[in-house]
Amino acid sequence: MLNRTIFGVVVGLGTLLGGANLAYADDVYIPLISKGFQHQFWQAVKSGAEQSAKEHKVRITFEGPETEAMVDKQIDMLSAALAKKPQALGIAALDSKAAIPLLKRAQSAKIPVIAFDSGVDSDIPLTTCATDNVAAAALAADKMAEAIGNAGEVGVIVHDQTSRTGVDRRDGFLNQMKKHSNVKIVSVQYGGGDHLKSAEIAKAMIQANPNLKGIFGANEGSAEGAAIGVKEAGKKLVLIGFDSGKEQKANITSGLMLGAITQNPVGIGKCTVDSAVKALKGEKLPPKIDTGFFWYDKTNMSDPKIAAVLYD
């Protein structure tokens, strides 16, 4: 009787463990490798990704290097994620070329790759969930030109010249500004998305160009830094930013900054996980999914449509 009871317990335990292993084997794991963590933007992207993961009952991780200048660290994170043999992968590349060898490895292992926020110079990602950064920066250029009376000198602070977002926002702004022939771009500098470095760049820009009328900051850290630099230099300029966050919103409310372009970071996160799940089901995805953008200033920040995509 005792032996039979023990046998029953062992068989029951074996069934339980077998069930657990089966459940683990069926677990869909999707790591998302972000460009960074220091900006509130990425926390909002993470929130959207987590919402989608919950809806689809999949497991995700979301990580990125401490700063957006750490390309090598992001590559290490991507390599470590692939070593866990995920079912799909999300990547917001800091360098549009550096990630390609690892993404080729993912492709060989039949791991669907979804790019988000910042794509790569390759057709390996099945889609890219992102803002139309060229169009968004062009709108910022038009707003800047209008604010300075369509004439004068303007500086640009960009987070980097290696990521797709850095290149597209820079070029979108510069190319659109060519249509405003009396506006001259006197300087384009790169601050790595770091607000302190961007503040120093802004101060140097103001000192070197005493007739400067405006500065465009191409991401959250660049814009926050430009605002700090302008404040410390004691100069009145037209400041236009990109993204949202507590500091930018406060600077717009106070009048230090005219306005900014906001993306839809929660939507980017949701789109990334939604797209990965669709890819795993064999659904065809469009090459790009435009997650939208808006201009905001103190006149429309409380508009429900705008407020929904601002984050702090």
* HEC assignment per residue over 102-147: HHHHHHHCCCCEEEECCCCCCCCCCEEEECCHHHHHHHHHHHHHHH
Please state, as a whole number, how many other Cβ atoms lie within 10 Å of the Cβ of residue 21.
10
Percent of the chain with pLDDT over 90: 87
User: How do residues 271-310 score in pLDDT, each as one tens digit?
Assistant: 999 999 999 999 999 999 999 999 999 999 999 999 989 9
User: Does residue 6 have a pLDDT over 50?
Assistant: no
User: How do residues 131-154 score in pLDDT, each as one tens digit?
Assistant: 999 999 999 999 999 999 999 999
Give the global pTM.
0.84
Q: What is the pLDDT of residue 26?
A: 54
Question: What is the dihedral sign for C-alpha 139, 140, 141, 145?
Answer: positive
CB 183 within 8 A of CB 145: yes
63 CB-contact burial (10 Å; exposed 0-12 / middle 13-18 / buried 19+):
middle
Q: Strand ranges (DSSP E) for the chain?
A: 29-33, 59-63, 89-91, 113-116, 127-130, 152-158, 183-190, 212-217, 238-242, 259-262, 288-290, 294-297
Q: In whole numbers, what is the pLDDT of the chain averaged over residues? A: 91
Residue 38 DSSP class: S
User: How do residues 103-137 score in pLDDT, each as one tens digit?
Assistant: 999 999 999 999 999 989 999 999 999 999 999 99
Domains of the chain: 25-131+265-292 (3.40.50.2300), 133-262 (3.40.50.2300)
User: Does residue 312 have a pLDDT over 80?
Assistant: no
User: Does residue 191 have a pLDDT over 80?
Assistant: yes
70 CB-contact burial (10 Å; exposed 0-12 / middle 13-18 / buried 19+):
middle
Give the pLDDT band (50/70/90) at residue 212: very high
Q: Which of 20-24, 25-29, 148-152 has the lowest mean pLDDT?
A: 20-24
For 149-186, give one letter per residue: b (16+ CB within 10 A) or e: eeebbbbbbbbbebbbbbbbbbebbbebbeebeebeee
Report helix angle 220-233 to 195-208, nearest 10. Answer: 50
Give the pLDDT band (50/70/90) at residue 182: very high
153 pairs with which residues across the strands? Answer: 184, 212
Q: Which of 20-24, 41-45, 89-93, 144-148 has the lowest mean pLDDT?
A: 20-24
